[in-house]
Amino acid sequence: MNTRVNVKNGDQLSILGFGCMRFPTKGNSIDEPRAIAMIRDSIAKGVNYFDTAYIYHGGKSESLLGQALLGGYREKVKIATKLPPFMVNKLDNAKKIMATQLERLQTNYIDYYLLHMLTDKPMFDRLVSLGVLEWLEQLKKEGTVKNIGFSFHGKKTDFEDIVQAYPWDFCQIQYNYLDENNQATKSGLLLAASLGIPVIVMEPLRGGKLVNNLPEKVIKTFQSYDKHRTPAEWALRWVWNHPEVTVLLSGMSTEEQIADNIRIASETEANSLSEEERKVFAKVKEVMMEKTKVPCTACAYCMPCPAGVDIPGCFSSYNDKYLLNDKSARWKYMQTLGALSVKPAYASMCKECGKCEKHCPQNIEIRKELRTVSKEMEGILYKPIVSVARKFLKIK
Ligand code: SF4
Ligand code: SF4
């Protein structure tokens, strides 16, 4: 496992961090024995950075990680977890959340503590006005929090405002070969680095979109260089090629993903992409951008929708239609979001309340896009067909 040094505090961090938002599941719950075994196995192979959050897996991710780190593992790793700003209206809320997090994680200190999903400077200012930063600084003096940072989903200019507004110990951004010019962007990454702020990268595979659902043309472009390298490997190598990136987070759900990622992390150095490999990426980006309609990463921060719409599901089906040139996309859309679901969740169920848009890190105009999805994926015959199919299949 390759490591990089946190330039701010000297921590030697594995370049692969374990994102704890996509543990394997059994039914609706985390498959605990399997997830614990995966965490411990990855530690044995050199992973020492674990990124969770108060809200991941409906609050169960922190508890699972705490459990997995019992028996001597805690001291071998750095835990990163996050404060959800939307749940903090007064300082007391933040204090209670922190107390719960320490309890769930079964620890008395958090190595890397982030303000979760800042999207603009007013959001940061609000937390400052509530005394959150002052309180975190106090916790840092006491040793309960070792490093104060933030994760970001928003526009480049907002990132620039926030990253320069406070002497951060680290920050976390979405970055991958499709998002070089999206959100914090490459210039944001370079700005953070120039300020001496270590950068943790999330969404290196854009919520799996850079692995699954790739157009044939993209796969062929990758294969034209190397038949054995997977799209995931290409994407990870692209991120690690940046020396400004300290840790890349991967939300790993299977043992195979862990084994693959660890192998790649052991082989990949900064500034190692050849000119030929860069050309492959340029071609791939061209093809992908032509075909992606809605830049949804399936993070599900917009969920649940009070009207029952599966927002990421709708966008995923819609995007797949173009990314994959999938002729059966409309049928799959009907199957998964309407006709054969116990709870229908298709786009035209949207009541336009706007609640979801406040939470979208990609700043997607969800209502407008859902109208388009409805128009393109449903059409006028959709509801009658859904109704007949449901009756036929005896679905209430
Ligand atoms: S705007 Fe539509 S999709 Fe968004 S939360 Fe409201 S009903 Fe759901
Ligand atoms: S619409 Fe936005 S918040 Fe919802 S899943 Fe997609 S990216 Fe995430």
In order of their start, the domains of the chain are: 3-277 (3.20.20.100), 311-392 (no CATH)
Dump pLDDT digits (tens) for 206-226.
Answer: 878 788 878 888 999 999 998
Dump pLDDT digits (tens) for 116-127.
Answer: 988 778 889 999
pLDDT of residue 119: 79
Per-residue pLDDT at 325 exceeds 70: no
* 355 C-beta closer than 6 A to ligand 1: yes
Ligand number nearest CA of 347 is 1
- The number of beta carbons lying within 10 Å of the beta carbon of residue 89 is 11
Average pLDDT over residues 97-121: 95
* Burial profile 325-354: b = 16 or more Cβ within 10 angstroms, e = fewer: ebeebbeebbebbbbebeebbbbbbbeeee
Residue 147's pLDDT band, with cuts at 50, 70 and 90, is very high
* 297 C-beta closer than 6 A to ligand 2: yes
Residue 342's pLDDT band, with cuts at 50, 70 and 90, is low
* 300 C-beta closer than 6 A to ligand 2: yes
Taking CA atoms only, the protein residue closest to ligand 2 atom 4 is 302
Which H/E stretch holds residue 246?
strand 245-250
Entry pTM: 0.77
pLDDT of residue 216: 85
Taking CA atoms only, the protein residue closest to ligand 1 atom 4 is 356
C-alpha dihedral sign at 307, 308, 314, 317: negative
**Could you please report the per-residue DSSP string of 365-379?**
-HHHHHHHHIIIII-
Q: Which residues contact 391 (CB under 8 A, 6 or more apart)?
A: none
If one residue of 294, 301, 356, 358 were mutated to test the ligand 2 pocket, choosing by the most ligand atoms within 8 A of its CB, it would be 301
Taking CA atoms only, the protein residue closest to ligand 2 atom 2 is 360
* 312 C-beta closer than 6 A to ligand 2: yes
- Mean confidence (pLDDT) of the chain: 90
Per-residue pLDDT at 307 exceeds 90: yes
Per-residue pLDDT at 327 exceeds 70: no
Average pLDDT over residues 159-173: 96
* 357 C-beta closer than 6 A to ligand 2: no
pLDDT of residue 301: 86
If one residue of 182, 311, 320 were mutated to test the ligand 2 pocket, choosing by the most ligand atoms within 8 A of its CB, it would be 311
Dump pLDDT digits (tens) for 345-357.
Answer: 899 999 999 999 9
Taking CA atoms only, the protein residue closest to ligand 2 atom 8 is 299
Residue 80's pLDDT band, with cuts at 50, 70 and 90, is very high
pLDDT of residue 183: 76
Q: Which of ligand 2's atoms lies nearest the C-alpha of 360?
A: 3
Reduced to 3 states (helix: H, G, I; strand: E, B; else coil), residue 83 is strand
Dump pLDDT digits (tens) for 7-28.
Answer: 999 999 999 999 999 999 998 8
Average pLDDT over residues 373-391: 82
Residue 394's pLDDT band, with cuts at 50, 70 and 90, is low
**Least confident span in 80-94, 260-274, 309-323:** 309-323
Number of H helices, E strands in the chain: 15, 12
Average pLDDT over residues 282-298: 82
CA 213 – CA 210 distance, rounded (Å): 8
pLDDT of residue 328: 67
Per-residue pLDDT at 296 exceeds 70: yes
